[in-house]
Structure 1
């Protein structure tokens, strides 16, 4: 983070959200605890944040049913930046609130990064860019342009035609959101407080919460990479392994 000295810069905490159960993977264990190139997916994600000079502390939010196994993974890493392993909530937004509550003693000016544990190939440059943008605007997310045509669907006229295309926005203005997403703690606290008070709140990602409940806040977008995939389906592990191998080969030749 530029523009700050060690005495004035905000503290940056990364919360790695490992609360998913990975039902679409069809595995016995949550996807973040599956193996990728000799380490769990969670370990890969944690290692990048722990090694980042832009991150001061790391929290791990785990599904309660697998918190003991998650603690064993964290103990194996033995990194002093990891300050706690905590139970998450039923929904993604609940888990985010658990992270916010864990930092109740931190000032509003501090930063919180929220990252999906199932994105093990996040780049250090993405973390740095997210921290810088969140410092400037109060909210930021890594995102990439969509390469697919996205359409808005509408109900079809008959059971044989269940959906039709209602609208086809231009791809040039569309982005696919990734993580980390970064926020000033005060911004995220206010947004989630308002969301909790709304009986019609629909769970969404944290940038969506800020957009809806703090519309005056600009959510900055910083460039991500295609490598920063979210492991969701069984075939994604093979893709991630290939990408990880390519990254390792590039590092060895530079």
Structure 2
């Protein structure tokens, strides 16, 4: 019997940098909420069995109504997220406490609506060989390390660009691995994770983390210009 596949969507972002009173995942592009466009992909991915969404507490009812109105049948739960991304992922882990330890868990930013079914499927397949994977794209810019100790930032190093990647989502894990990494992270007050592969890397350093090739189209909507780009891309995309 194959392992269950569950998508966990942290959706606690605000619209601050977009200048919006609405949480950015509820802003509409081409007539539909960003979150709805994102859910389209996971709903359409045959390998995905269940979806859980974690919006801010005050918007749970709105998201529940969105799920109902669009008929997203794979959504098994909408519950309050946490104060930050890591806390929302931990809320997801709590919701999966009754799932088998080998469950495949896909963690995806709710405001990345342009991921495609093929990429989600490749993440699921990669977990047949690995405990953890992330979608990533090569860096087209030169990345510099900086010394921030003085009044002006100074370059302290220039890594080899050919070995650098920019992480996107989904990031995918066996439930046992993600749960253990977050269990260890909770006790570390000196670390603020920005993604789940970073949590696994820090607390389970022996664990290999694979790369699934991503796409420049898979942008995270953060700034007003991202809305314009996403609108153009969504008009032309196929799932």
Mark yes or no: TM-score above 0.5: yes
Which one of the candidate residues 188, 202, 227 is aligned to 1:198? 188
CA distance in 2, matches of 1:65, 1:178: 27
Q: Which residue of 2 aligns with 1:4?
A: none
Q: Which residue of 1 aligns with 2:53?
A: 60
Question: Deviation per CA, 1:48-99, whole angstroms, max 9, x where unpaired?
Answer: 1011011000111111122121112111122221111010000110000000
Q: State the 1:235 CA deviation.
A: 1.0
Which one of the candidate residues 40, 48, 65 is aligned to 2:33? 40
Unmatched segments (≥5 aa) in structure 2: none
Unmatched segments (≥5 aa) in structure 1: 1-7
Q: TM-score under structure 2 normalisation?
A: 0.96
* 1:19 maps onto 2:9 in alignment: no
Which one of the candidate residues 220, 224, 227 is aligned to 1:230? 220
Q: How many residues in Structure 1 have an aligned counterpart in Structure 2?
A: 239
SS at match of 2:93: helix
Which one of the candidate residues 124, 127, 134 is aligned to 1:141? 134
Matches within 5 A, 1:153-168: 153-155=146-148, 157=150, 159=151, 162-168=152-158
Q: Which residue of 2 aligns with 1:75?
A: 68
Question: Deviation per CA, 1:141-197, whole angstroms, max 9, x where unpaired?
Answer: 11000111111111375x4xx111111111101101000011000001110111112
Q: TM-score under structure 1 normalisation?
A: 0.91
Q: State the superposition RMSD in angstroms.
A: 1.3
